[in-house]
């Protein structure tokens, strides 16, 4: 009787371990699977566009330009990154304050005499570093992204006030920089 019960308990334990390992594997694979699906959809869209060029006739170039002009770049580019995070089941509450802090630092560097292109590169590196910090805190310390990004959002908001003193920041870059960031590159707005 006891031998049969021990065998049944061991079988139940092995079954529970197998189920837990399966759940753990599915969680680890889910982000990679989402990336693969995203890339497949993009590839299919490009291939289908080449096969049937009239598929995009409804959205002519003029309509696309109008759409691009109505979505500010300050919203559009961060929305792409946040969209990928949301597909993966995560989110970033600090993206707005990250953008503001990086922009203020860039503007102050350029206003204080640094080359505007170098200042822009430094701003991009700062923004990327903040995003990397959020990712490392979330993944390595296993703190939920909600808590991580909420905390870093408040931190970077305070850092922004510390850096520029809650005053407006005048910024007049050279015309080439304005043409690239606020103008168009050939037919692309």
Residue 97 makes CB contacts below 8 A (sequence gap 6+) with 152, 153, 154, 156, 157, 160
pLDDT band at 71 (very low <50, low <70, confident <90, very high): low
Residue 110 makes CB contacts below 8 A (sequence gap 6+) with 116, 119, 120, 171, 173
Instruction: Give the integer Cα–Cα distance in Å for 54 and 147.
Output: 46
Task: Evaluate if residue 17 carries a pLDDT over 60.
Answer: yes
Q: Residue 15 corresponds to which tokens in the numbers above?
A: 């079954």
Checking phi first, is residue 113 left (phi over 0); if not, alpha (psi -120 to 50) or beta?
left
Mean pLDDT of 108-121: 88
pLDDT band at 140 (very low <50, low <70, confident <90, very high): very high
In this prediction the pTM is 0.58
A 10 A CB-CB count for 106 gives 24
| Segment 44-54, tens digit of pLDDT | 877 877 777 66
Find the Cα–Cα–Cα–Cα dihedral 121, 124, 97, 101, rounded to 10°.
-20
pLDDT band at 62 (very low <50, low <70, confident <90, very high): low
């Amino acid at each position: 009787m006891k031998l049969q019960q021990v065998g049944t308990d061991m079988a139940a334990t092995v079954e529970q371990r197998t189920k837990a390992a399966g759940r753990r594997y599915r969680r680890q694979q889910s982000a990679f699977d989402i990336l693969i699906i995203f890339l497949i959809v993009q590839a299919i869209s490009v291939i289908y566009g080449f096969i049937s060029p009239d598929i995009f006739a409804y959205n002519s170039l003029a309509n696309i330009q109008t759409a691009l002009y109505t979505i500010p770049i300050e919203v559009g580019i961060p929305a792409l990154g946040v969209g990928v995070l949301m597909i993966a089941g995560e989110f970033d509450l600090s993206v707005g304050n990250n953008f503001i802090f990086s922009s203020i630092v860039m503007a102050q560097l350029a206003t204080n005499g640094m080359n505007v292109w170098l200042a822009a590169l430094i701003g991009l590196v700062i923004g990327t570093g903040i995003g990397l910090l959020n990712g490392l805190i979330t993944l390595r310390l296993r703190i939920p992204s909600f808590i991580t990004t909420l905390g870093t959002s408040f931190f970077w908001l305070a850092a922004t006030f510390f850096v520029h003193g809650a005053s407006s920041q005048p910024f007049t870059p050279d015309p080439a920089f304005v043409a690239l960031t606020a103008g168009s590159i050939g037919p692309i707005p």
